C-alpha cells in the first residue's frame, strides 16, 4: 500500500501535493491501494476544516483514494504499543522537566557539541514531575536504508539518541505514530520531502524493536526553491495550492508541472494518465529545483488550448460556447483563467468612454459611434452579421475614419484601446451586441 499523510495544520503546500501525486502514481503502477492518512496528532495546531479542504484538493486533482483514516483514531493502539515496548525494555518513562532539558541543550550549544539525551537523566525529577513522557531507547548500531533518489543513507548510533514516543498527555509523537501506522496499514513504499530524511531512521528503529521485518522503500524529494533561490516558505504565494487555483491555473497543468520538475519526461505537456505509463521515481533529480511561475504559465496555456469551447465556457461559469470561443482566441495573450476572465469581463462591462485611452480622449467619437450602433441594432441591420459589413456601414453613417473610428470601435466592443484583431473577435461578439455595446453611467 502507498500512502499520503498530510497534517490539517495549514494550506496544502505544492511540495506536499507533489508527494501525493508521486505516491498515487506508484500505487497505480504497482496495482496497490492508495491510502490517505490525516496526521492529526498535533491537537494544538490542527485547524478545523483543513482536513476537508485537503481531501477536496486531492479530489480536484483526481488523486482518488482507496482508504481514508485519521491518525487520532489509533491513539489507543499507539499507547498499547508503547506499553509493550516498555515491557520489553525498549522504552522507558522519562521524568525530566522541560527546564532541565533546555538547560542541557544550552550547555551543549555553548560547548559547540550536538545535544544528546542521556538515559541516566530519566528519573532525576521523578519526585517533582508527576507526568513523565515515554522515550524509545536510542540505536545501538548503524541504521541504513536505500533512498531511490539519494542512494544509500546511514545514521550511526550516536546520531539517534533516546527520543520521545508518548508525550506527557499520552498523545503519540509524529515519528512514533507514523512508524506504527505504516506498519499497521502494511505500507510498502513512501515518497515524501527530504526534510523527513532524519525521521526515517527513528521510524525504522521503532519497527525494529517491534520485530517488524518488512522492508519499506523510500524516496525523499528534494526541496522546492522559491524564485529568490531560498527554500520556498508559506510566505511565497505560489507555495500554496489554493493560491495557484485562485489565480486560474488548471489542476492538470499544476500536476503536469510538478511531475516534470527536476524530472526526465518524454514530452513537455502531458496528463496524469500519460505519466502512469512512463513515470519512474529514480529519474527525479537529487538537487533542489526552483519554482518557475513562467514555466507554469506556459504549461497552463497549453492545457487551456487542449480544451474545446464548451469546456472552456464551463470553466468561465457559462454554458455558451461562443464565450468559450472568445476565450480560445484570448489564449494568444492570456495564460490563466483569471487573465481570460479579465478580458471577457471588460467586453461585457458598460464602457467608460470618458476615460483616457493611451492618454487620449475618444469620448466624442465613442458617442457618435455608439449612436450608430444603437440605430443598426434597432433596425436589425444585416450589416451586424459580419465585421467587414459592420465597419463599412458604421463608417458611412458616422463619417468617422482612421484612428477616430477604429479606437472608439475597439473601446465599445472590448473595453480597451488595443488587443486582438477585431475581425477575429467579431464572429463571437456579434451574438451579444446588446450586452456589449453599453455605456457606463
The pLDDT tens digits of the residues spanning 311-354 come to 999 999 999 999 999 999 999 999 999 999 999 999 999 999 99
Query: What is the tens place of the pLDDT at every residue in 264-306?
Result: 999 999 999 999 999 999 999 999 999 999 999 999 999 999 9
Note the pLDDT of residue 200. 98
Q: Provide the domain limits for residue 358.
A: 349-436
Helix 200-209 × helix 174-184 angle, to 10°: 60
Cα–Cα dist 369/422, whole Å: 15
Does a structural domain hold residue 202?
A: yes
Task: Verify that 185 and 36 share a domain, yes or no.
Answer: yes
Residues 318 and 422 in one domain: no
The CATH number of residue 152's host domain is 3.40.50.620
Please choose, from the candidates 145, 202, 216, 211, the residue with its C-alpha nearest in 3D space to the C-alpha of residue 172.
202
Contacts of 25 (CB under 8 A, 6+ apart): 259, 272, 275, 276, 279
C-alpha to C-alpha distance for 365 and 197, rounded to whole angstroms? 68
Residue 365 lies in a domain: yes
Classify residue 37: in a domain, yes or no: yes
Residue 233 has pLDDT above 90, yes or no: no
Q: Which residues contact 169 (CB under 8 A, 6 or more apart)?
A: 131
Same domain, 405 and 328: no
**pLDDT, position 229:** 84
Helix (H, G, I), strand (E, B) or coil at 172: strand
Number of domains making up the chain: 3
48 with 60, same domain?
A: yes
Q: What was the pLDDT predicted at 121?
A: 96
pLDDT (tens digit, 9 = 90+) per residue, 363-397?
999 999 999 999 999 999 999 999 999 999 999 99
Q: List the one residue out of 433, 409, 431, 432 whose CA is nearest residue 421.
A: 409
pLDDT of residue 236: 84
CA 261 from chain centre, in angstroms, equals 13
Are 353 and 340 members of one domain? Answer: no
* Domain-ending residue, one of 279, 306, 333: 306
Q: For 8-140, where are the E strands, in sequence order?
A: 34-38, 67-70, 91-94, 133-136
Q: Tell me, yes or no, whether 292 and 416 share the same domain.
A: no
The whole-number pLDDT of residue 110 equals: 94
Instruction: Encode pLDDT of 395-420 as tens digits.
Output: 999 999 999 999 999 999 999 999 99
Q: Are strands 143-147 and 151-155 parallel, antiparallel or unpaired?
A: antiparallel
Q: What pLDDT does 299 receive?
A: 98
Q: What's the pLDDT tens digit per position in 89-123?
A: 999 999 999 999 999 999 999 999 999 999 999 99
Among left, alpha and beta (phi > 0; psi -120 to 50; other), residue 248 is: left
pLDDT value at residue 298: 98
Sign (positive or negative) of CA dihedral 50, 56, 61, 63: positive
Residues 283 and 372 grouped into a single domain = no
Indicate whether 374 and 294 sit together in one domain: no
Per-residue pLDDT tens for 59-82? Answer: 999 999 999 999 999 999 999 999
User: Each residue of 67-106: b (16+ CB within 10 Å) or e?
Assistant: eebebbebbeebbebbeebbeeebbbebbbeeeeeeebee
Q: Flag whether 387 is in a domain.
A: yes
Is the pLDDT score of 11 beyond 80? yes
Q: What is the pLDDT of residue 396?
A: 95
Quick one: 139 and 268 in the same domain?
Answer: yes
**Any binding-site annotation on 104?**
no
My answer on whether 85 and 203 are in the same domain is: yes
- For residues 336 and 283, membership in a common domain is answered with no
107 burial level (CB within 10 Å; 0-12, 13-18, 19+): exposed
Q: Do residues 163 and 135 make contact, with C-beta atoms less than 8 angstroms apart?
A: yes
Q: What is the pLDDT of residue 43?
A: 87
Query: Which candidate, 152, 120, 3, places its Cα nearest to that of 68?
Result: 3
In a domain, 411, yes or no: yes
Rounded CA separation 355/281 (Å)? 55
Q: How many alpha carbons fall within 13 Å on the CB side of residue 237?
A: 6
Q: Which of 297, 327, 347 is where one domain is finished?
A: 347
Percentage above 70 pLDDT, the chain: 100
- 112 in any annotated domain: no
Length of the chain: 441
- Domain-located, residue 24: yes
The owner of cell 548500531 is 141
pLDDT of residue 235: 75
143-186 per-position pLDDT tens digit: 999 999 999 999 999 999 999 999 999 999 999 999 999 999 99
Are 156 and 273 found together in one domain?
yes
What's the pLDDT at 237?
87
Percent of the chain beyond pLDDT 90? 95
Say if 120 falls within a structural domain: no
pLDDT of 234: 72
Amino acid at each position: 500500500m502507498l500512502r499520503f499523510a498530510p497534517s490539517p495544520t495549514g494550506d496544502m503546500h505544492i511540495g506536499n501535493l507533489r508527494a501525493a501525486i508521486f505516491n498515487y502514481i506508484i500505487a497505480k503502477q504497482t496495482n496497490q491501494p492508495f491510502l490517505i492518512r490525516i496526521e492529526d496528532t498535533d491537537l494544538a495546531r490542527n485547524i478545523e476544516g483543513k482536513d476537508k479542504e485537503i481531501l477536496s484538493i486531492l479530489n480536484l486533482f483526481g488523486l482518488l483514494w482507496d482508504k481514508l483514516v485519521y491518525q487520532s483514531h489509533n491513539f489507543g493502539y499507539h499507547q498499547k504499543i508503547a506499553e509493550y515496548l516498555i515491557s520489553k525494555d525498549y522504552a522507558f518513562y522519562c521524568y525530566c522537566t522541560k527546564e532541565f532539558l533546555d538547560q542541557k541543550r544550552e550547555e551543549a550549544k555553548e560547548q559547540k557539541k550536538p545535544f544528546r539525551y542521556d538515559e541516566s537523566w530519566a528519573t532525576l525529577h521523578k519526585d517533582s514531575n508527576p507526568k513523565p513522557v515515554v522515550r524509545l531507547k536510542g540505536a545501538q548500531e548503524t541504521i541504513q536504508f536505500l533512498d531511490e533518489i539519494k542512494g544509500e543513507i546511514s545514521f550511526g548510533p550516536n546520531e539517534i539518541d533516546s527520543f520521545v514516543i508518548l508525550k506527557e498527555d499520552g498523545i503519540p509523537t509524529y515519528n512514533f505514530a507514523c512508524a506504527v501506522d505504516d506498519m499497521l496499514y502494511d505500507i510498502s513504499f513512501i515518497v515524501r520531502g527530504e526534510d523527513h530524511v532524519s525521521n526515517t531512521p527513528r521510524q525504522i528503529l521503532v519497527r525494529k524493536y517491534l520485530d517488524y521485518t518488512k522492508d519499506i522503500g523510500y524516496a525523499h524529494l528534494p526541496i522546492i526553491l522559491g524564485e529568490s533561490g531560498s527554500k520556498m516558505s508559506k510566505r511565497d504565494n505560489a507555495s500554496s495550492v489554493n493560491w495557484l487555483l485562485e489565480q486560474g491555473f488548471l489542476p492538470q497543468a499544476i500536476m503536469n508541472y510538478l511531475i516534470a520538475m527536476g524530472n526526465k519526461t518524454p514530452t513537455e505537456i502531458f496528463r496524469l494518465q500519460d505519466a502512469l505509463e512512463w513515470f519512474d521515481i529514480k529519474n527525479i533529480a537529487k538537487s533542489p529545483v526552483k519554482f518557475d511561475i513562467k514555466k507554469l504559465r506556459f504549461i497552463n496555456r497549453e492545457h487551456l488550448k487542449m480544451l474545446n469551447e464548451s469546456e472552456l465556457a464551463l470553466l468561465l461559469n457559462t454554458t455558451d460556447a461562443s464565450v468559450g470561443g472568445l476565450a480560445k482566441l484570448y489564449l494568444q495573450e492570456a495564460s490563466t483563467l483569471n487573465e481570460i476572465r479579465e478580458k471577457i469581463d471588460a467586453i461585457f462591462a458598460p464602457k467608460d468612454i470618458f476615460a483616457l485611452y493611451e492618454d487620449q480622449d475618444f469620448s466624442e467619437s465613442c458617442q457618435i459611434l455608439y449612436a450608430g450602433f444603437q440605430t443598426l441594432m434597432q433596425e436589425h441591420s444585416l450589416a451586424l452579421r459580419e465585421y467587414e459589413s459592420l465597419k463599412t456601414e458604421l463608417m458611412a453613417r458616422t463619417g468617422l475614419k482612421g484612428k477616430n473610428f477604429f479606437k472608439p470601435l475597439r473601446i465599445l466592443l472590448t473595453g480597451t484601446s488595443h488587443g486582438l484583431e477585431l475581425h477575429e473577435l467579431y464572429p463571437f461578439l456579434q451574438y451579444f451586441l446588446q450586452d456589449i455595446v453599453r455605456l457606463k453611467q
